[in-house]
Amino acid sequence: MGKTSLSNIAAITDGVGNDAYNNTNHNGEAVNEWKEHYKQTVLGMPHLVSFGSHFFHEKLRFLVLPRYGCDVQKKFYEFGRRFHPKTAFTLCYYIIDILEYIHSHGYVHNDMKASNLVLGCPPGEREKEFLL
């Protein structure tokens, strides 16, 4: 589907015989506990379907995420390289919450930039932004 400076992006569909990932739900309890502890109703953390590694000339690590919409970089260009202050503050609010969550679990985001922050709207939640 695409390629970033550090990774390839591929679409995986259910039922095609591709055993590159196991369909394990890793979302849920940890995120819900964190939201409850910090009295948050939304954590802009994407649903993590699965993760793992594969050897192909070298060890490759991967995440399996649902398909999301466009990235923040594209929206930034779409709006003439300016965000309304409320939009910028909202993005910052979500980004700080997500980074606090992943750091509290011993992880870091190694390539933080607008093109790696994806927006998505799950069915029934049209107004919420989800970032990665």
Tell me what pLDDT residue 48 has.
78
> Which amino acid is residue 41, in one-letter code?
T
Tell me, yes or no, if 97 is annotated catalytic.
no
**What's the Rg (C-alpha) of the chain?**
16
Give the residue extent of every domain in the chain.
Answer: 26-120
Backbone angles phi, psi at 75, to 5 degrees: -65, -40
Does residue 101 or residue 51 have the better pLDDT? 101
**Three-state SS for 29?**
helix
Averaged over 83-98, what is the pLDDT?
Answer: 94
For strands 2-3 and 8-9, give the pairing. antiparallel
CA 70, CA 115: separation in Å to the nearest integer? 9
Tell me what pLDDT residue 80 has.
97
Residue with tokens 């980074």: 99
Burial class (CB in 10 A: 0-12, 13-18, 19+), 111: exposed
117: how many CB neighbours lie within 10 A of its CB?
22
pLDDT digits (tens, 9 = 90+) for 33-76: 889 999 999 888 877 777 788 777 888 777 777 777 788 999 99
pLDDT digits (tens, 9 = 90+) for 105-120: 888 888 889 998 888 7
Average pLDDT value for the chain = 76
pLDDT band (50, 70, 90) for residue 81:
very high
DSSP H helices, 5-84, are: 29-37, 72-78
45: how many CB neighbours lie within 10 A of its CB?
19
Active-site choice (14, 19, 71, 111): 111
